[in-house]
Amino acid sequence: MNRESLPVAVAGAAGRMGRMVVQALLETPGMRISGALTLPDEPWIGQDLGVVTGRPPLGVRVTANPETAFRDAHVVIDFTTPGALDAFLPAVRATENALVSGTTGLEDAQFAALETLAGEVPVLWAPNMSLGANLLKALARQAAACLGPAFDLEILDIHHRHKRDAPSGTALALAHAASAARGEPDPDVVLRRRGVIGPRGGTGQAGVGVLRGGDVVGEHTVYFFGTGERIELTHRVADRMAFARGAVRAARWLAERTPGLYTMDQVLELDGEPDAH
Protein backbone atom coordinates (compact mmCIF):
# COMPACT_ATOMS: atom_id res chain seq x y z
CA MET A 1 0.00 0.00 0.00
CA ASN A 2 1.32 3.38 -1.04
CA ARG A 3 1.26 5.56 2.09
CA GLU A 4 0.82 8.60 -0.10
CA SER A 5 -2.63 7.59 -1.34
CA LEU A 6 -4.32 5.67 1.45
CA PRO A 7 -8.05 5.18 0.65
CA VAL A 8 -10.27 5.42 3.74
CA ALA A 9 -14.01 4.81 4.13
CA VAL A 10 -15.91 6.65 6.84
CA ALA A 11 -18.75 4.91 8.70
CA GLY A 12 -21.35 7.34 9.96
CA ALA A 13 -19.92 9.91 7.56
CA ALA A 14 -22.81 12.37 7.88
CA GLY A 15 -22.94 12.26 11.68
CA ARG A 16 -21.21 14.69 14.03
CA MET A 17 -18.02 12.67 14.44
CA GLY A 18 -18.14 11.36 10.90
CA ARG A 19 -18.08 14.91 9.53
CA MET A 20 -15.04 15.65 11.68
CA VAL A 21 -13.28 12.53 10.41
CA VAL A 22 -13.99 13.76 6.88
CA GLN A 23 -12.42 17.11 7.76
CA ALA A 24 -9.40 15.46 9.36
CA LEU A 25 -8.87 13.25 6.31
CA LEU A 26 -9.06 16.24 3.99
CA GLU A 27 -6.50 18.07 6.16
CA THR A 28 -4.05 15.15 6.17
CA PRO A 29 -1.66 14.73 3.22
CA GLY A 30 -1.65 11.27 1.71
CA MET A 31 -5.18 10.34 2.79
CA ARG A 32 -8.10 9.89 0.38
CA ILE A 33 -11.78 9.41 1.17
CA SER A 34 -12.99 6.46 -0.89
CA GLY A 35 -16.40 5.75 0.65
CA ALA A 36 -19.05 7.13 2.97
CA LEU A 37 -21.56 5.01 4.89
CA THR A 38 -24.74 6.21 6.58
CA LEU A 39 -27.81 4.60 8.10
CA PRO A 40 -30.72 3.49 5.88
CA ASP A 41 -33.51 6.00 5.28
CA GLU A 42 -31.29 9.03 5.82
CA PRO A 43 -32.09 11.95 3.46
CA TRP A 44 -28.55 12.34 2.14
CA ILE A 45 -28.24 8.84 0.65
CA GLY A 46 -27.01 9.20 -2.93
CA GLN A 47 -25.74 12.73 -2.42
CA ASP A 48 -22.11 13.78 -2.75
CA LEU A 49 -20.29 13.65 0.59
CA GLY A 50 -18.79 17.09 0.03
CA VAL A 51 -22.21 18.68 -0.45
CA VAL A 52 -23.60 16.84 2.60
CA THR A 53 -20.78 18.14 4.78
CA GLY A 54 -20.91 21.71 3.45
CA ARG A 55 -18.01 21.52 1.00
CA PRO A 56 -17.51 21.43 -2.75
CA PRO A 57 -18.23 18.01 -4.28
CA LEU A 58 -15.70 15.30 -3.37
CA GLY A 59 -16.78 12.70 -5.91
CA VAL A 60 -17.88 10.29 -3.17
CA ARG A 61 -21.54 9.30 -2.89
CA VAL A 62 -23.08 8.60 0.50
CA THR A 63 -24.57 5.11 0.68
CA ALA A 64 -26.33 2.88 3.17
CA ASN A 65 -24.73 -0.24 1.65
CA PRO A 66 -21.60 -1.14 3.66
CA GLU A 67 -19.96 -3.24 0.95
CA THR A 68 -20.42 -0.42 -1.56
CA ALA A 69 -18.96 2.10 0.90
CA PHE A 70 -15.98 -0.09 1.79
CA ARG A 71 -15.11 -1.80 -1.52
CA ASP A 72 -12.44 0.71 -2.63
CA ALA A 73 -11.00 1.37 0.82
CA HIS A 74 -8.05 -0.03 2.71
CA VAL A 75 -9.17 1.20 6.15
CA VAL A 76 -12.60 1.95 7.64
CA ILE A 77 -12.89 4.59 10.38
CA ASP A 78 -15.91 4.12 12.63
CA PHE A 79 -17.54 6.50 15.10
CA THR A 80 -21.10 5.20 15.10
CA THR A 81 -23.23 3.21 17.54
CA PRO A 82 -23.02 -0.39 18.77
CA GLY A 83 -25.99 -1.36 16.61
CA ALA A 84 -24.52 0.21 13.49
CA LEU A 85 -21.19 -1.50 14.13
CA ASP A 86 -22.94 -4.87 14.36
CA ALA A 87 -24.59 -4.23 11.02
CA PHE A 88 -21.47 -3.41 9.02
CA LEU A 89 -18.84 -5.73 10.54
CA PRO A 90 -19.60 -8.48 7.97
CA ALA A 91 -18.83 -5.98 5.19
CA VAL A 92 -15.49 -5.10 6.79
CA ARG A 93 -14.64 -8.79 6.72
CA ALA A 94 -15.92 -9.27 3.16
CA THR A 95 -13.93 -6.32 1.79
CA GLU A 96 -10.84 -7.22 3.88
CA ASN A 97 -10.46 -3.72 5.26
CA ALA A 98 -8.61 -2.73 8.40
CA LEU A 99 -10.92 -1.19 11.02
CA VAL A 100 -10.33 1.75 13.35
CA SER A 101 -13.25 2.01 15.76
CA GLY A 102 -13.95 4.62 18.42
CA THR A 103 -17.51 3.44 19.09
CA THR A 104 -18.18 3.09 22.82
CA GLY A 105 -20.89 1.42 24.88
CA LEU A 106 -20.16 -2.00 23.35
CA GLU A 107 -21.31 -5.22 25.03
CA ASP A 108 -19.08 -8.24 25.64
CA ALA A 109 -20.48 -10.01 22.56
CA GLN A 110 -19.51 -7.05 20.39
CA PHE A 111 -15.97 -7.02 21.74
CA ALA A 112 -15.84 -10.74 21.01
CA ALA A 113 -16.90 -10.01 17.43
CA LEU A 114 -14.06 -7.48 17.08
CA GLU A 115 -11.60 -10.03 18.42
CA THR A 116 -12.85 -12.61 15.91
CA LEU A 117 -12.56 -10.07 13.09
CA ALA A 118 -9.00 -9.31 14.19
CA GLY A 119 -8.06 -12.87 13.23
CA GLU A 120 -8.66 -11.87 9.61
CA VAL A 121 -7.91 -8.12 9.34
CA PRO A 122 -6.12 -5.48 11.44
CA VAL A 123 -8.48 -4.00 14.06
CA LEU A 124 -7.90 -1.11 16.44
CA TRP A 125 -10.54 -0.21 19.02
CA ALA A 126 -10.03 2.55 21.56
CA PRO A 127 -12.46 4.24 23.96
CA ASN A 128 -10.72 7.54 23.28
CA MET A 129 -8.81 8.34 20.10
CA SER A 130 -7.28 11.63 21.26
CA LEU A 131 -3.52 11.62 21.59
CA GLY A 132 -3.65 13.46 24.91
CA ALA A 133 -6.05 10.97 26.52
CA ASN A 134 -3.81 8.08 25.58
CA LEU A 135 -0.79 9.90 26.95
CA LEU A 136 -2.78 10.46 30.16
CA LYS A 137 -3.25 6.71 30.44
CA ALA A 138 0.48 6.15 30.07
CA LEU A 139 1.23 8.80 32.72
CA ALA A 140 -1.35 7.22 35.06
CA ARG A 141 0.36 3.87 34.66
CA GLN A 142 3.73 5.43 35.45
CA ALA A 143 2.41 7.25 38.50
CA ALA A 144 0.60 4.17 39.80
CA ALA A 145 3.69 2.00 39.45
CA CYS A 146 5.80 4.59 41.26
CA LEU A 147 3.37 5.38 44.08
CA GLY A 148 2.08 1.87 44.68
CA PRO A 149 -0.99 0.82 46.69
CA ALA A 150 -0.30 3.31 49.49
CA PHE A 151 -2.08 5.94 47.36
CA ASP A 152 -5.84 5.64 46.80
CA LEU A 153 -6.90 5.70 43.17
CA GLU A 154 -9.95 7.74 42.10
CA ILE A 155 -11.07 8.95 38.66
CA LEU A 156 -13.52 11.69 37.67
CA ASP A 157 -15.30 11.48 34.31
CA ILE A 158 -17.03 14.66 33.04
CA HIS A 159 -18.98 14.83 29.77
CA HIS A 160 -21.82 16.71 28.09
CA ARG A 161 -25.44 16.08 28.97
CA HIS A 162 -26.10 14.00 25.84
CA LYS A 163 -23.50 11.28 26.40
CA ARG A 164 -25.26 7.92 26.50
CA ASP A 165 -22.85 5.69 28.42
CA ALA A 166 -21.54 6.14 31.95
CA PRO A 167 -18.89 5.86 33.08
CA SER A 168 -16.97 6.60 29.91
CA GLY A 169 -14.87 3.90 28.32
CA THR A 170 -11.88 6.17 28.90
CA ALA A 171 -12.54 6.34 32.64
CA LEU A 172 -12.71 2.56 32.89
CA ALA A 173 -9.56 2.18 30.79
CA LEU A 174 -7.74 4.59 33.12
CA ALA A 175 -8.90 2.66 36.18
CA HIS A 176 -7.75 -0.66 34.82
CA ALA A 177 -4.47 0.66 33.44
CA ALA A 178 -3.44 2.34 36.71
CA SER A 179 -4.55 -0.64 38.78
CA ALA A 180 -2.65 -3.12 36.62
CA ALA A 181 0.50 -0.99 36.89
CA ARG A 182 0.51 -1.47 40.65
CA GLY A 183 -0.14 -5.19 40.49
CA GLU A 184 -3.96 -5.22 40.59
CA PRO A 185 -5.07 -6.44 37.15
CA ASP A 186 -8.65 -7.04 38.33
CA PRO A 187 -9.52 -3.98 40.44
CA ASP A 188 -12.69 -3.43 42.43
CA VAL A 189 -14.08 -0.57 40.34
CA VAL A 190 -16.58 1.33 42.50
CA LEU A 191 -19.11 3.29 40.45
CA ARG A 192 -21.46 4.45 43.17
CA ARG A 193 -21.14 5.37 46.84
CA ARG A 194 -24.22 6.18 48.87
CA GLY A 195 -25.32 6.09 52.47
CA VAL A 196 -23.25 4.79 55.36
CA ILE A 197 -20.56 2.88 53.52
CA GLY A 198 -17.82 2.87 56.15
CA PRO A 199 -14.14 3.43 55.41
CA ARG A 200 -12.87 3.31 51.87
CA GLY A 201 -12.13 -0.17 50.56
CA GLY A 202 -8.72 -1.77 50.37
CA THR A 203 -5.83 -1.08 48.05
CA GLY A 204 -7.49 -2.91 45.16
CA GLN A 205 -10.31 -0.38 44.92
CA ALA A 206 -10.60 2.20 42.14
CA GLY A 207 -13.38 4.73 42.44
CA VAL A 208 -14.93 6.29 39.33
CA GLY A 209 -17.14 9.37 39.64
CA VAL A 210 -19.36 10.61 36.81
CA LEU A 211 -20.63 14.13 36.03
CA ARG A 212 -22.85 14.92 33.05
CA GLY A 213 -23.91 18.40 32.01
CA GLY A 214 -23.71 21.26 29.56
CA ASP A 215 -21.56 20.94 26.48
CA VAL A 216 -18.38 19.49 28.04
CA VAL A 217 -16.65 17.56 25.26
CA GLY A 218 -14.70 15.38 27.67
CA GLU A 219 -12.59 15.68 30.79
CA HIS A 220 -10.87 13.01 32.87
CA THR A 221 -8.84 13.43 36.05
CA VAL A 222 -6.89 10.65 37.74
CA TYR A 223 -6.30 11.23 41.45
CA PHE A 224 -3.74 9.53 43.64
CA PHE A 225 -4.57 10.35 47.28
CA GLY A 226 -1.75 9.81 49.75
CA THR A 227 -1.18 10.85 53.34
CA GLY A 228 -0.52 14.58 53.36
CA GLU A 229 -0.33 14.86 49.56
CA ARG A 230 -2.14 14.05 46.33
CA ILE A 231 -1.36 13.94 42.65
CA GLU A 232 -3.86 14.96 39.96
CA LEU A 233 -3.46 14.17 36.26
CA THR A 234 -6.04 15.84 34.01
CA HIS A 235 -6.85 15.80 30.32
CA ARG A 236 -9.49 18.11 28.83
CA VAL A 237 -10.84 18.04 25.29
CA ALA A 238 -12.13 21.36 23.96
CA ASP A 239 -12.68 20.25 20.34
CA ARG A 240 -13.89 16.88 19.06
CA MET A 241 -11.45 17.21 16.17
CA ALA A 242 -8.90 15.77 18.61
CA PHE A 243 -10.69 12.43 18.35
CA ALA A 244 -10.91 12.60 14.57
CA ARG A 245 -7.23 13.46 14.11
CA GLY A 246 -6.22 10.65 16.42
CA ALA A 247 -8.34 8.20 14.43
CA VAL A 248 -6.76 9.32 11.15
CA ARG A 249 -3.30 8.87 12.62
CA ALA A 250 -4.34 5.39 13.78
CA ALA A 251 -5.69 4.55 10.32
CA ARG A 252 -2.41 5.40 8.63
CA TRP A 253 -0.53 3.26 11.15
CA LEU A 254 -2.98 0.35 10.97
CA ALA A 255 -2.91 0.22 7.18
CA GLU A 256 0.53 -1.37 7.28
CA ARG A 257 -0.18 -3.95 10.00
CA THR A 258 -1.03 -7.63 9.64
CA PRO A 259 -4.27 -9.04 11.10
CA GLY A 260 -4.52 -8.59 14.85
CA LEU A 261 -6.07 -6.50 17.62
CA TYR A 262 -4.15 -3.27 18.20
CA THR A 263 -4.28 -0.27 20.56
CA MET A 264 -3.52 3.43 20.52
CA ASP A 265 -0.59 2.68 22.84
CA GLN A 266 1.04 0.87 19.94
CA VAL A 267 0.27 3.69 17.50
CA LEU A 268 1.95 6.18 19.86
CA GLU A 269 4.72 3.76 20.88
CA LEU A 270 3.66 3.82 24.53
CA ASP A 271 4.07 0.82 26.82
CA GLY A 272 0.73 -0.58 27.88
CA GLU A 273 -1.90 -3.30 27.83
CA PRO A 274 -5.06 -3.46 25.68
CA ASP A 275 -7.84 -1.16 26.82
CA ALA A 276 -10.28 -2.65 29.31
CA HIS A 277 -13.94 -2.98 28.39
CATH code, domain carrying 111: 3.40.50.720
Catalytic residue among 163, 176, 220, 235: 163
User: Which residues, other chains included, contact 215 with Cβ-Cβ below 8 Å and sequence gap of 6+?
Assistant: 160, 161
Residue 159 a catalytic site member: yes
Residue 163 a catalytic site member: yes
Residue 262 lies in a domain: no
Judge if 98 and 24 occupy the same domain.
yes
**Residue 230 in contact with residue 224, Cβ under 8 Å?**
yes
pLDDT of residue 276: 54
pLDDT of residue 186: 85
Judge if 118 and 138 occupy the same domain.
no
Domain boundary among 94, 109, 125: 125
The pTM assigned to this predicted structure is: 0.85
Tell which residue, 267, 250, 254, 248, has the closest CA to residue 29.
Answer: 248
pLDDT tens, N- to C-terminus, the chain (277 residues):
444 689 999 999 999 999 999 999 999 999 999 999 999 988 999 999 999 999 999 999 999 999 999 999 999 999 999 999 999 999 999 999 999 999 988 999 999 999 999 999 999 999 899 999 999 999 999 999 999 999 999 999 999 999 988 999 899 999 999 999 999 888 888 888 888 888 887 778 999 999 999 999 999 999 999 999 999 999 999 999 999 999 999 999 999 999 999 999 999 998 655 555 5
Tell which residue, 152, 90, 125, 135, has the closest CA to residue 277.
Answer: 125
Catalytic residue among 74, 137, 159, 176: 159
Residue 33 lies in a domain: yes
**Burial label, 23 (beta-carbon count in 10 A; 0-12, 13-18, 19+):** middle
Q: What backbone torsions phi and psi does residue 196 show, to the nearest 5 degrees? A: -85, 100
